[in-house]
Amino acid sequence: MSASPPFHAKIGDMPRYQSSEPREALLAALADALDTADFGIALLDRDLRVRWSNPRFAETWNLQPATTPTFRALLDRAAASGRIMLPPDDRPAYLDAREGELRNAGTASVRVGRLDRRPLMLRCSACADGGRILACIDMSGELEHETAEAVAAVSAELRFNAELLEEQGAHLANLAEEAAENAHQAEAARLMLEREVAERRHLETKLRHLATTDGLTGALNRAELLASGQRMIEAGLAAGRTVAVLMLDVDHFKTINDRFGHAGGDHALRHLVTVLRAGTRQDDLLGRLGGEEFAIVLPDTSTSLALTVAERLRARVAETPAMFGAQRIPMTVSVGLAIQAEAETAIEQLIARADDALYRAKRGGRNRVIRDSSPQAA
């Protein structure tokens, strides 16, 4: 009896899954699957030049039809246009590192987009001809899923305690009917109920904190800053008051991480929030948009006052280094300022203009305040 054929059959040097279907049908099915995939995939030659890509990859990297750029050129164009948040001085080293990872068939994580900060995972596999298969996967869903799981866990605990409170309340009512005979039990139940109420309030506070603050620095998270900032704009429009937005970014933050490690970088960001809070009013909103970038929304603020606040914060950060153990971590920030125009009704409009001013401050030498020069600004 002859041996059974192997599960994989060799065609040249490449393994191929055996199937009774015609090769043309399988190729057509594979093409349809790649066209509708929710992740990007591209085939690169040995020079890392794009030979082919599916629609999702072309959309992510703004790849033009009938062009075959190198992946380094795509990264460079994305960084130059601001789709990858990267200071211009760091671009050559960044491009060298990503290109080296692709040549070693490794993985890398980059951020695409200015305001949404969606993380992408690049996963690379080597081909027999020296080329590469590159997959580009949007990881923002996984991050949102982790946050949703955390909120769901706290919510489940709140529901459990709410049910327990209802049971204890019913028990307390029964004890009250028995009056003096059950006075001791009623007192014990009352104390238990007070503890349950205190625990429930604690859990509610914990849930609100989780949903509205940045876990590392304690500043408002992006979603809460946008929501509270929008409410502040709407209240100002009704009362005829102007809102200002400051965008702040730590200069050369990668150098801080490289020198003091990620623990030192995290400590520096927490110290920065402490300094910024000390230099702002109680009604001002301070939030972390992502990475080392922060925003401050200033209600009822004129142009001159906003410039004064921005310059004061910039100077305080430069004059107050963080202490990481026995080590001093000097920091400076670049600041972009935008004042609400009469036609502006959305917080995202002010943030976008302040973000443009911030990048002009970066390009102008860092550690400075630049006001948005748009003719729409008040």
Residues involved in catalysis: 292
**Cα end-to-end distance, the chain, whole Å:** 89
- Structure tokens that stand for 70 in this block: 């190198």
> How many beta carbons lie within 10 A of that of residue 218, not counting itself?
14
Residue located via tokens 């009469």: 342
CA–CA dist 358, 347 (Å, integer): 16
Helix (H, G, I), strand (E, B) or coil at 2: coil
Q: What CA–CA distances, in Å, run from 252 to 258, 264, 331, 333?
A: 10, 14, 9, 9
- Within 10 angstroms of residue 141's Cβ, the number of other Cβ atoms is 11
Distance CA 55, CA 139 (A): 18
Element housing 336 (H / E): strand 333-339
Q: Give me 323's structure tokens.
A: 């202490």
Q: Quick one: tokens of 162?
A: 């709410």
